[in-house]
C-alpha cells in the first residue's frame, strides 16, 4: 500500500471511530511523524479527507477534523433517504432474491451483543444492495454517504433496544427485496431511516458532546 493510501486509511478509521474527535488539529509535522510518512503523502491523505468532508482547513496552516451536528445529520439523512429507498426498490426489481433471503435469516440470528458483528452484517447487506442495483452512479453516491454514517452510527451504537429494532428493520427490507416487492422494500427502508434518525437526534439531545 502506498504511503498516501496508508495515511488516508489510518486517519479515516481514527476519524470514523472517534479516536480523532471533531476539532482535533492535524498538524503536518506531528501527523507525519506519528504515521511514519513524509509530508507529501500526508498532504495527499488530508486532501482526500477534505474531499470526503471529514476535515476542514481552519487556516492556511491548520487542518482540523470536521464537526457533525444535528443539522448535518438531518441533511445526511435527507440524501440517504432518497438514495437508499431507490436502491431498495431497484434491488427488489432485479436483485438475487436468494441472497437477500439469506441476509434476512442472518439479521434474525445475529448476536446483538457483538456490535462489530452486527455492523459487519450491515456492510454485507450494503454490498449486496450495490451489486443488485448495478448502478455505478448510485453506488458511488451511497459510498459517500456511508463514509459519514460510520461516525453517525457511533451515536446509537451502544443502544441495545435500537440495535434490536434495527436488525428487525433490516430483516424486513431484505425479505421484501427477496420477495421481489419494490414498494414494500422502499417503504421498509423509509421507516428504518426515520427510526434511525430519530434515535440519533435523541442521543444528541441527551449528550450534546
* Domain edges within the chain: 3-65, 70-206
- Domain 3-65 in CATH 1.10.10.10: yes
pLDDT of residue 2: 87
Per-residue pLDDT of 150-171, as tens digits, reads 888 776 556 778 889 999 999 9
Residue 204 reports pLDDT greater than 90? no
The Cα–Cα gap between 73 and 54 comes to: 13
Task: Say which residue the cell 496552516 belongs to.
Answer: 61
Residue 155: the pLDDT is 62
Residue 110 clears pLDDT 60, i.e. is over it: yes
Query: Do the domains spanning 3-65 and 70-206 agree at the CATH topology level?
Result: no
Domain 70-206: which CATH class? mainly alpha
Instruction: Report the mean per-residue pLDDT for the chain.
Output: 91
Query: 67: part of which helix (H) or strand (E)?
Result: none
Find where cell 502506498 sits.
2
Compute CA distances 131 → 87, 92, 104, 127, 147, whole Å.
10, 12, 17, 6, 18
This prediction's pTM: 0.85
pLDDT digits (tens, 9 = 90+) for 38-87: 989 999 999 999 999 999 988 777 899 998 899 999 999 999 999 999 99
Q: What are phi and psi of 37, to 5 degrees?
A: -130, 160
Mean of pLDDT values over 22-35: 92
Amino acid at each position: 500500500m502506498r504511503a498516501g493510501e496508508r495515511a488516508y486509511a489510518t486517519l479515516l478509521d481514527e476519524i470514523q471511530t472517534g479516536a480523532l474527535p471533531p476539532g482535533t488539529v492535524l498538524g503536518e509535522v506531528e501527523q507525519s511523524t506519528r504515521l511514519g510518512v513524509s509530508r507529501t503523502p500526508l498532504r495527499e491523505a488530508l486532501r482526500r479527507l477534505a474531499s470526503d468532508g471529514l476535515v476542514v482547513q481552519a487556516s492556511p496552516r491548520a487542518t482540523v477534523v470536521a464537526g457533525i451536528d444535528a443539522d448535518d445529520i438531518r441533511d445526511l439523512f435527507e440524501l440517504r433517504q432518497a438514495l437508499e429507498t431507490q436502491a431498495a426498490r431497484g434491488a427488489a426489481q432485479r436483485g438475487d432474491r436468494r441472497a437477500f433471503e439469506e441476509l434476512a435469516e442472518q439479521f434474525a440470528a445475529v448476536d446483538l451483543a457483538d456490535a462489530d458483528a452486527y455492523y459487519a452484517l450491515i456492510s454485507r447487506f450494503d454490498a449486496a444492495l450495490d451489486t443488485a442495483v448495478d448502478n455505478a452512479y448510485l453506488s458511488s453516491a451511497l459510498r459517500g454517504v456511508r463514509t459519514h454514517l460510520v461516525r453517525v452510527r457511533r451515536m446509537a451504537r451502544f443502544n441495545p433496544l435500537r440495535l434490536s429494532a434495527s436488525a428487525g428493520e433490516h430483516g424486513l427490507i431484505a425479505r421484501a427485496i427477496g420477495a421481489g416487492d419494490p414498494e414494500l422494500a422502499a417503504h421498509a427502508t423509509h421507516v428504518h431511516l426515520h427510526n434511525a434518525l430519530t434515535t440519533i437526534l435523541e442521543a444528541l439531545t441527551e449528550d450534546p458532546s
